[in-house]
Amino acid sequence: MSQNIKPVTTIKSAFPIFEANPRLSYLDNAATTQRPRAVIEAVTRFDSFENANIHRGLYDLSSTATKRYEQIRTKVAHFLGTENSNTVAFTKGTTESINIVAQSYLSKKIMPGDNVITTIMEHHANFIPWQVLTQTHHAELRIVPIDPHGNLDMNKLRALIDSKTKLVAINHISNTLGTVNPIEDIIAMAHKKNIPVLIDAAQSISHCALSLDQMEYDFLAFSGHKMFAPFGVGILQVAEKHLGEVLPYNVGGGMIREVTNERTTFRDFPFNLEAGTANISGVIGLGAAIDYIGSLDKTDVSNHIRDLTDYCVATLNTVPEINVVGSPSGRSGIVSFTVTDIHPHDVASFLNQDQIAVRAGTHCTQPLLASLGLGATIRASFSIYNTRDDIDQLKASLIALIKFWS
């Protein structure tokens, strides 16, 4: 059932935005996904009838909110293939999660002459933190290139890892090329030399199975809003062996054991990262999003996304003026392209007139585009509610644009 999960008409009806905009072809899912009704209702119900701050409140509303908040921490852990909910910290999103690893874990370990390895295809959120960290500590940022097709150069990665490597940080799926990186092979390669691995799962979390216990990554970062949850909530998952090494990032209320005039002692991970008032509504929405994803067959979802991706590439390749960027051996959910002699911003503006939503620009991957000799691209990205009809409409609108421009 690779083309239609559930079926797609049922899926689409679960998302109110398509009722308000029935002609919308939403192809910007790599930037954010839409929210299903179940998520919207869960957040609205909490905000309307259950609102209270968590922890330390000795009244029913607060106790209930605390219980639900911590139950969702457990739900996230199970979603990520482990029973240990203490591996899961709530954050604002992928960017904050990665910065926490850089500043709260690695900054205390890295020394002059050490190195961190990342790749040329990373989102700036998984590139700049390591660039800043290595420059600050007089260490080296080693950048793994890609081959002409957009695949990671695994031989180069292997050659870059040495006794001075302190971390390998890599995305699961490139947010510009859609390349699916062989993260299990990369984890095994790094672990042979006792090097921890951080996975940026922002583009894979909604449709790929991830498991701490099975894959044995060291750090995992993602955002809720790219898996049908609200903005402003994300996850940092940390392997048990590193829990004691992640130090407080922000300090304040809610993450302390004791404060005196002379000193403060902090709670253990994950609570030592959760200073201040939490985004409780966002966490409630994240829990509902996980339940919604759990109602779908993940294999069917993954197959559906792959089918749309392959169909988009094949469809765009039939138009001579359209240039698909890259041809990686595995691509999922994301297709970037250019149109000869037409700037990507003009393309996106024209498509918008036909209610086709795409992203145009550098996609927070300027080093990648520079390496490809490109200033910007158009990006189409897919989710469970998209169909081949969306891609057919994309092609038709692009052909109309090319005709108009000529």
Catalytic residue annotation: 364
Copy the structure tokens of residue 73: 């921490």
Question: Strand 234-238 relative to strand 219-223: parallel, antiparallel, unpaired?
Answer: antiparallel
Q: How many CB atoms neighbour CB 192 within 10 A?
A: 10
- What's the burial of 305, exposed, middle or buried (CB within 10 Å: 0-12/13-18/19+)? buried
**Sign of the four-CA dihedral 56, 58, 61, 66:** positive
CA 384/CA 300 separation, integer angstroms: 10
Quickly list DSSP for 80-139.
TT-S-GGGEEEES-HHHHHHHIIIIIGGGT--TT-EEEEETT--GGGTHHHHHHHHHTT-
CA 253/CA 251 separation, integer angstroms: 7
| HSE value, Cβ hemisphere, 13 Å, CA-based, for 12 | 18
Q: How many CB atoms neighbour CB 129 within 10 A?
A: 23
**Sign of the four-CA dihedral 104, 109, 112, 114:** negative
The SS3 assignment for 322 reads strand
Which residues have C-beta within 8 Å of that of residue 141, sequence separation ≥ 6? 115, 116, 118, 130, 131, 134, 135
The SS3 assignment for 300 reads helix
Q: What single letter denotes the amino acid at residue 320? A: P
Which residues have C-beta within 8 Å of that of residue 256, sequence separation ≥ 6? 264, 265, 266, 267
